[in-house]
Amino acid sequence: MRKIKAGAISDLVAKLCVEANTELRSDILRAIRAALKKETSGLAKKHLKMLINNADIAAKEKIPICQDTGMAAVFVEIGQGAHIVGGTLKDAVNKGVERGYKEEYFRKSVVHCPLRRKNTGTNTPAILHTTIVSGDSFKIWVMVKGFGSENKSAVKMLYPTAGEEEIIDFILDTVKNAGAEACPPLAIGVGIGGTFDHAAHLAKRSLLREIDKKNPERHLAILEKKIMDKVNKLGIGPMGLGGKTTALGVTILSSATHIAGLPVAVNISCHATRSAYGTL
Amino acid sequence: MKKIKLPITSEDIEGLKAGDEVLLTGTLYTARDTVHKIFLEGMKDKQIPPIRLHGATLYYAGPTPGRPPRTVGSCGPTTSGRMDKFTPAMLDAGVKAMIGKGRRSEAVKGAIKKHKAVYFLAPAGCGALLGSKIKRAKVVGFPELGPEAIHELEVEDFPVIVGIDSKGNDVYESRVRP
């Protein structure tokens, strides 16, 4: 049984919160640079250059890429041969988020109760997803999710006979509804299958993958490209002011589902799609 | 590229059209959802707000706190649409300019035309870059709201684009293909 100290988890989480918020993911930066090469609209090019400049300033000055330092969505994969000591996983993660956000002067954007809305002052609790696997590894992804884009996400329960075109139409409608408000160009996470909630979980989880790498499943890689091309044809563009780049990429995760259903979820994420990965 | 010194004048606004790129220098006041709601409820009871709304430029933003000695860190715009229902009353109270991101409603456009005000777009998601244009900042109202408090920001060459001009022209209408 490998022992993992709760304190070490907190330290790692704090470090990943800082990295996620101040260093734009290299795949996202690559995608923005690739978009800049293809873009022809003057204003769109200007905005894409500003995004690159912004990422530069954030990394150099260690200030957040975006003032919405987000709610922490934390994904842990822990081997059943590993054993956490000195505290619970949940507490360790929340302590790490609290420390990272306090020490680096990040915005505290979490309220205790969705109805009463008093700020917790700590940017906790994080939303924690835990998967238990074989072995004794410990892997953790910290995503900081801003709500400008999150608010434009959607789930739809399609009929089992729906097919690809309906799935694509739903994604296009969601992107059109997001418009300028979700800060395009967007990273579009898609979850297909499972149950109502699992599709949404998959949609968010898919955003952890490098956005310019192909989906390992061939039929999903083809679908990802098809969706991206159609989204870009919408012409919404950077900041919603027109252009060739409305999506930086599309990532899909799919799962087994019920014979009577086809749940589809779209998690809209902005050009500041932020996450960081670590292991213990 | 136009350079405007705040407080913005009617003459400045008259010369602006949707899509113009502008650099603003002077004082902005941050105000988002909760502050707008408080202001509107206060107007009903004829309460005096902590800042002078007449002639003001509001910035829809909730900044990150600053690493000392800075008061604010990252400070990009939030989605303006959430403030739409409060905006006609704010313009009635004398607000001259608003900065945010995203589209506004027809009612807001009408109020902008009526009062010859202007709506600017700040580069969305460029919190670090915009934060670097803030020279001085202090909390001047509702400190208990944390990031949603009213911050008085002294900015220099703060880059914006005219979103809706005083004639009601909307940069989004001319640019987004259906």
Three-state SS for chain B is CEEEECCCCHHHHHCCCCCCEEEEEEEEEECCHHHHHHHHHHHHCCCCCCCCCCCCEEECCCCCECCCCCCECCCCCCEHHHHHHHHHHHHHCCCCEEEEECCCCHHHHHHHHHHCCEEEECCCCCHHHHHCCEEEEEEEECHHHHHHCEEEEEEEEEEEEEEECCCCCEHHHHHCCC
Asked if A141 and A103 touch (Cβ cutoff 8 Å), the reply is: no
Mean pLDDT score, A78-102: 97
Provide, rounded to the nearest whole percent, the portion of chain A with pLDDT above 90: 97
Please confirm, yes or no, whether B36 is among the known catalytic residues: yes
Residue B142 pLDDT = 92
Domain presence at residue A42? no
Residue A210 pLDDT = 97
Same domain, A112 and A70: yes
Total domain count, chain A: 2
Q: Which residue, among B99, B129, B142, B174, would best test binding to A if mutated, counting the most A CBs under 10 Å from its CB?
A: B129
List Cα–Cα distances, A100 to A15, A105, B134, in angstroms: 7, 8, 24
Same domain, A100 and A16: yes
Domain presence at residue A117? yes
Q: Evaluate if residue A165 carries a pLDDT over 50.
A: yes
Domain presence at residue A34? no
Q: Evaluate if residue A211 carries a pLDDT over 60.
A: yes
Q: Which residue, among A25, A71, A144, A239, would best test binding to B if mutated, counting the most B CBs under 10 Å from its CB?
A: A239
More confident residue, A119 or A138: A138
Q: Can you give the pTM of this predicted structure?
A: 0.92
Residue A261 pLDDT = 97
Q: Per-residue b/e over B85-113, b at no fewer than 16 CB within 10 Å?
A: ebbbebbebebbbbbbbbbbeeebbebbe
Same domain, A86 and A122: yes
Residue A1 pLDDT = 87
Distance of CA A215 to the CA centre of its chain: 16
Residue A277 pLDDT = 98
Share the mean pLDDT of chain A: 96
Residue B178 pLDDT = 41
Same domain, A166 and A259: yes
- ipTM, 2 decimals? 0.88
CB contact under 8 A, B73 and A63: yes
Tell me which residue in B74, B101, B161 faces A64 most closely, judged by beta carbons: B74
Enter the tokens of residue A98. Answer: 């609290």
Same domain, A121 and A249: no
CB contact under 8 A, B64 and A119: no
Provide, rounded to the nearest whole percent, the portion of chain A with pLDDT above 70: 100
* Domain termination residue (choose one: A145, A173, A194): A145
Mean pLDDT score, A83-88: 97
Same domain, A198 and A229: yes
Q: Evaluate if residue B174 carries a pLDDT over 80.
A: no
What domains are there in chain B, each with its CATH number? 2-175 (3.20.130.10)
Same domain, A223 and A129: no
Reported as a single tens digit per residue, the pLDDT across A194-206 is 999 999 999 999 9
Domain presence at residue A248? yes
Asked if B99 and B163 touch (Cβ cutoff 8 Å), the reply is: no
d(CA B77, CA B62): 8
Residue B177 pLDDT = 46
Mean pLDDT score, A268-275: 96
Question: Which residue range forms the structural domain that includes residue A69?
Answer: 2-22+65-145
Distance of CA A241 to the CA centre of its chain: 23
Same domain, A255 and A229: yes
Domain presence at residue A45? no
Same domain, A14 and A119: yes
Domain presence at residue A226? yes
Same domain, A128 and A12: yes
Mean pLDDT score, B19-27: 97
When mean pLDDT is compared across A53-57, A114-118, B84-88, the lowest value belongs to A114-118
Domain presence at residue A163? yes
For residue A92, the domain's CATH number is: 3.30.360
Residues from chain B contacting residue A151 (CB–CB below 8 Å)? 79
Query: A272 CB near a chain B CB, below 8 Å?
Result: yes
Domain presence at residue A39? no
CB contact under 8 A, B102 and A240: yes
Same domain, A138 and A196: no
Residue B176 pLDDT = 52
CB contact under 8 A, B63 and A183: no
Residues from chain B contacting residue A104 (CB–CB below 8 Å)? 67
* Domain termination residue (choose one: A129, A145, A161): A145
Q: Evaluate if residue B122 carries a pLDDT over 70.
A: yes
Reported as a single tens digit per residue, the pLDDT across B50-66 is 899 999 999 999 999 88
Same domain, A119 and A174: no
* Domain termination residue (choose one: A100, A115, A145): A145
Q: Which of residues 25-44 of A touch B (CB under 8 A)?
A: 43
DSSP summary character for residue A180 = G
Q: Evaluate if residue B72 carries a pLDDT over 80.
A: yes
Residue B70 pLDDT = 83
